[in-house]
């Protein structure tokens, strides 16, 4: 019996493009490539992007700088985002808790192999999950504070731009503030998201206006202080990290 993902591979033009790119990578760089995988919505097998959606591809190489260059192109009407990284570097990235973790973790956990003879993608997932299991709460809180600073700066900028009637720019900065606040929430709850749209949607910030985003950032600042990571400090605090 043919499963849902196998059917998708037969009928979805994104899968055909992904497989063509994967085959070309292996043909042109046979000695450099350890694994090739699809990540993002297509890897989940439950999105409704059809032929208009993006294909996210990861090429893991035996050493940094090998293989094709990272690039983005539209191929047969399908947007392809090609990430190329040394396998060891990518593993280190997957075991580091940063402010961007909620938007990066899905790439480590959910992949669909086009080429993985050594089982490296399973190692990537297992190493990431093991790192999460042993992470201390303070690591996520510290990363959340960094994300909060970005959100606070973007929100302040959006307010100033709105006062100057620079509406388009204000809306762009408000979008950045929404995403940063969603990222903070993801770090608080150790929740990762498929993409920025998923992040603001699942945290209830997708339609938040200037006042609502400011209020959310204010609550997050209080939560950070309660967790021992206040957003305000002294010069010594700044220099001590």
pLDDT for 43-52, tens place per residue?
Answer: 988 764 444 5
pLDDT at 47: 60
3 has pLDDT over 80 = no
Which of the four pLDDT bands, split at 50, 70 and 90, describes residue 89?
very high
pLDDT in tens, 120-142: 999 999 999 999 999 999 999 99
Q: What CATH class is the domain 4-134?
A: alpha beta
Average confidence (pLDDT) over 173-199: 97
Q: What is the pLDDT of residues 57-83, one digit of tens each?
A: 999 999 999 999 999 999 999 999 999
User: Average pLDDT of 136-165?
Assistant: 97
What pLDDT is recorded for position 10? 63
Strand 78-86 to 55-61 pairing:
parallel
CA 185: distance to chain centroid?
14
State yes or no: pLDDT of 175 exceeds 60.
yes
Report whether pLDDT(1) > 60.
no
Q: For residue 23, what pLDDT band results from cuts at 50, 70 and 90? A: very high
Q: Which two tokens stand for residue 6?
A: 């196998």
Give every CB contact of residue 194 below 8 A, 6+ residues apart in sequence: 40, 41, 44, 106
pLDDT at 5: 52
Give the C-alpha separation, 5 to 195, whole Å: 21
Supply the pTM of this predicted model.
0.91
Section 24-49 average pLDDT: 89
Q: Which residues contact 189 (CB under 8 A, 6 or more apart)?
A: none
Check pLDDT > 60 for residue 6: no
Q: Is the pLDDT of residue 111 over 50?
A: yes
- What value does the mean pLDDT take over residues 203-231? 98
What is the chain's mean pLDDT, rounded? Answer: 93
């Amino acid at each position: 019996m043919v499963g849902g993902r196998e059917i998708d591979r037969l009928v979805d033009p994104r899968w055909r493009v992904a497989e063509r790119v994967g085959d070309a990578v292996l043909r042109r760089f046979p000695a450099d490539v350890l694994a090739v995988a699809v990540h993002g919505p297509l890897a989940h097998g439950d999105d409704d992007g059809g032929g208009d959606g993006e294909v996210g591809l990861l090429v893991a190489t035996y050493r940094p700088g090998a293989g094709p260059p990272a690039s983005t192109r539209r191929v047969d009407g399908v947007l392809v985002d090609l990430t190329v990284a040394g396998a060891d570097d990518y593993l280190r990235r997957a075991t580091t808790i940063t402010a961007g973790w909620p938007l990066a973790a899905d790439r480590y956990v959910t992949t669909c192999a086009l080429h993985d003879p050594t089982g490296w993608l399973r190692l990537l997932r297992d190493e990431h999950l093991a790192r999460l299991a042993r992470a201390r709460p303070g690591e996520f809180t510290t990363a959340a504070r960094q994300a909060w600073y970005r959100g606070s700066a973007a929100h302040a900028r959006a307010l100033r731009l709105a006062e100057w009637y620079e509406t388009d720019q204000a809306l762009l900065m408000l979008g950045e503030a929404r995403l940063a606040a969603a990222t903070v929430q993801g770090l608080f709850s150790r929740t990762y998201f498929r993409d920025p749209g998923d992040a603001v949607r699942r945290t209830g910030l997708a339609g938040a206006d200037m006042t609502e985003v400011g209020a959310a950032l204010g609550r997050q600042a209080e939560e950070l202080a309660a967790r021992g990571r206040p957003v305000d400090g002294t010069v010594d605090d700044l220099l001590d990290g």
